[in-house]
Structure 1
Amino acid sequence: MDFNDTKQEAEFRQQARQWLEENITEFKEEYTFESNLSWAEPEAGELAKAWQKRKFEGGWGCLTWPKALGGREVSLMEATIFAQEEAKVTPLAGIYGVTMGMAVPTIMTHGTEEQCKKFLPTIANGERLWCQLFSEPAAGSDLAGIKTKAVKDGDDWIINGQKVWTTFAHFSDWAILVVRTDPTVAKHKGLTYFVVDMKSPGVEVRPIKQASGESEFNEVFLTDVRIPDSQRLDAVGKGWNVAMTTLMNERVAVGGAFSYNVEEILDVARNTPLGEGRAIDDSGVRQSIADWYVKSAGLKNIRLRQLSTLSKGGVPGPEASVSKLVLGVGRQDLAAMSLDILDMAGVLAEDDAMGWGNYDFFRTIGNRLEGGTDEILRNIISERVLGLPAEIRVDKGIPFNEVPSGL
């Protein structure tokens, strides 16, 4: 396979690079902020919105979207090229990961024309950020086990329940939401999907203090929150099907959100003394880096396969689970190895993006949970890729309100 840019792609990359270099300089002059600003800070959310607005006004904000919705309808490969170049100059696009990578494809796939016209323009122009209200204290890996309920009241729905591990909920404007509307049917069939204004009465957000020192994740409590039926995506009871669209795109987004290469850990190994030489001179260190290099090459090819599928109009498949599983485990292993190499210097290192100090060690734990836990991903791979027998599910076909909960 030839992984080099075509002539057209090379020209597009040069145009993207030129625009980014010019505009990031102007942006940093207009918005003064610390280079190590935490993504968990509300200020980061405002900066991400401002950057998205600048991209949109410059014609680079929603490259693959239909022109009628403010996009340019370029190829997925060209959009990937822009994302590659953008990542070299700023990490701000990552804050829009849930918004662009999960909310947008779900709304485009399952929303009505009216809903698309209402919600997508405010995403495109940087006006609104979105979060994802899925996981609950007793329903994380088993998403279909959620208990947050919605009861119909005229033309509205009344929502009560609790969500947890919601990234950026503390500064998000809107959210995608899965709730239970019918507890008398099997758990996968009683779910319905909504979008909700995070400023609605009854929505309470409580940041969670993480081991990394940040509060990127949140608990969200929903108490008698009133949502109009016009904010429902797809039919009542079809929430699981809609959620699958979100989750498949989430695994692609999470799997592509972090670097596959080994340059960061190589820099650490080349510049850190170990024994009588450098860490890179140690055979054990070189072997570990070589192992990750092999894995990263495989991840790159899986990513290219995903892009090929999407560029032909397909939907994300189970290969996204392979990518996300390997990446989550690998990043945690790399962070642990970096701490071993840096010794006390790594433990005491200040928060530094991709610095592979103590922050990275604690934050990579989340990589193995977000977008699907290791266990769920292994089940998907075994059943849908390898064709192995499905895991035994004792609650299959049983009405949700009859499933023993242990509570």
Structure 2
Amino acid sequence: MYDFTAPFQHPAGSPIRELFRYLAQPGMISFAGGYPASDLFDEEGLQAAAARAWQAPTQCLQYGPTDGLPELKAQLLALMARRGAICAPEEMLITTGSQQGLDLLLRVLLDPGDTALTEQPAYPATLQALRLQQARVVTVPVDGDGIDVDVLAARLASGVIARPKLLYTVPTFANPTGATLTRERRLALLRLAVQYRFVIVEDDPYGDLRFAGQAMPSLLALASEVEGARAWVVHFSSLSKVVAPGLRVGWTIAPAEIARRCVIAKQTVDLCSTPWTQAIAAHYLEAGSLEQHLPRITQAYRRKCEALCDGLRAEFEGEIAFHQPEGGMFVWARMPGLAIDALLPNAIASNVIFVPGKAFFADHPDSASLRLSFAAPNVDEIREGVARLKQAAQATRAAQVASARA
């Protein structure tokens, strides 16, 4: 009946959000969405910041600058400096979550048919955004140390990958694999971006959630060590995972010419992100509350990650393979010989849920993979959830055996 645009004639929704209807099921334990733990929100600190913000109610209730409140930008520029990246105000744009930053960037950089590189497996919302922008998505494999830069270099040199516009990566505690790109690979990736003139899109929502190992500088911070690299890095970050997603505060750091165009694109989307929550975030950061509260979050996530990984080893023994991350929210696992699509309904029936790995693949999906998030459930729920997952796996294997005999 309606003459929709080509990307929206047969659109696919988020495969993760389609699972959320099961969260209302009584007693459900969720390893699915990457939700931060609600009981770890700094309610007292945010209430204090909200009270200070409300001292200027007119500012909270009025439209604000499209690129963000100056006081919030100042606090975020200081935060980025502490993370090792010195940025100018004209390079920063405040967005309604970092996902909006990606959407704006794709609008200003990609024409239909342009080649966009992504690590594989990759964050599904990024794949969704690239498809809606009608990009040609080309994948690069990852291993336990992140995106395989040697494979990328070989494909670029041979012409198998020609004229990419950008490469999307989550180099620190990747979603979904939890892997962290090594320093050597980061520098090599930056050199490739300069050589082949493609934009590195660095998504960094989890970098502050390190609970083991040594801190790793962002690609943006390392860009100063590779001549010309800073011109080819766009960096996204957010307060969603470390403070509260309900604030919807994210930011983009990009070369000024890219940032300016993203600001213009944002003017046509929402005019400005919410000044009220921007003001709350500014006061929260100014008080030093993020640095004071982060250790509580990371210590809790360390315990949760250990509980999940220890439980998987104990319950599944040699039936599962996974990488134990040093931070973030996710464990990426494989269960060879088990059909994960068949496991999911059995898991739901056992009141535990996860995300099948195929949601994270642009092509050639791994049918034995799955993503487990340890952030939202507590330690006792994690242990019980692993036991339920084991029960579901046993039922799935029994059904597979029976089917093979029939």
TM-score, structure 2 normalization: 0.26
- The structure whose RCO (Cα within 8 Å, separation 6+) is larger is 2
TM-score, structure 1 normalization: 0.26
